[in-house]
Amino acid sequence: MKKEIEDIGDIERLVSLFYDKVNQDDLLSVVFNVHAKTDWESHLPKMVRFWSGILLDTSDYRGRPFEAHAKQSEHITPEHFKRWIALFKETISENFEGEKAALAIQRAESIGDIFQYKLDFMRLNKEATDPNLDKL
């Protein structure tokens, strides 16, 4: 049954269901499990703190969310963002409804846009300053 996102238990459910999907997805799971070698025991509670900050106005998340993605810049493409957003929307729409559910999707999309923009900028800059460029 669908419900509103109201408390930390709802966020835990959202995060757990979403990353179950990520782990079953060939494209996304490689980035986490092969390249980043994600420690799920610490990543999931971190993502609960992250989303709870956005959706419940708590302030326990400490981190620099972009850095984790910058480290994987060679492995994360626009395809990955499309799939990530699609799975996130699917998780929300299968389980939740209401204002916070809509806000979660909106924030994921806008953060995704910013990450992609910054990753593009990083890659372009790297190309422009890569000392090996003239050897190619």
- Closest residue to bound ligand HEM by CB: 63
Q: How far apart are CA 32 and CA 97, in angstroms?
A: 28
State which of residues 18, 19, 81, 96 lies at the interface with ligand HEM (CB under 6 A).
81
Which residues, other chains included, contact 122 with Cβ-Cβ below 8 Å and sequence gap of 6+?
70, 73
Report in angstroms how near the CB of residue 37 gets to ligand HEM at its nearest: 7
Q: How far apart are CA 46 and CA 52, in angstroms?
A: 10
- For position 5 contacting ligand HEM by CB under 6 A, the verdict is no
- For position 8 contacting ligand HEM by CB under 6 A, the verdict is no
> Which pair of structure tokens corresponds to residue 16?
């757990």
**13-21, 43-51, 95-103, 121-129 -> range binding ligand HEM (CB under 6 A):** 43-51
Report in angstroms how near the CB of residue 107 gets to ligand HEM at its nearest: 7
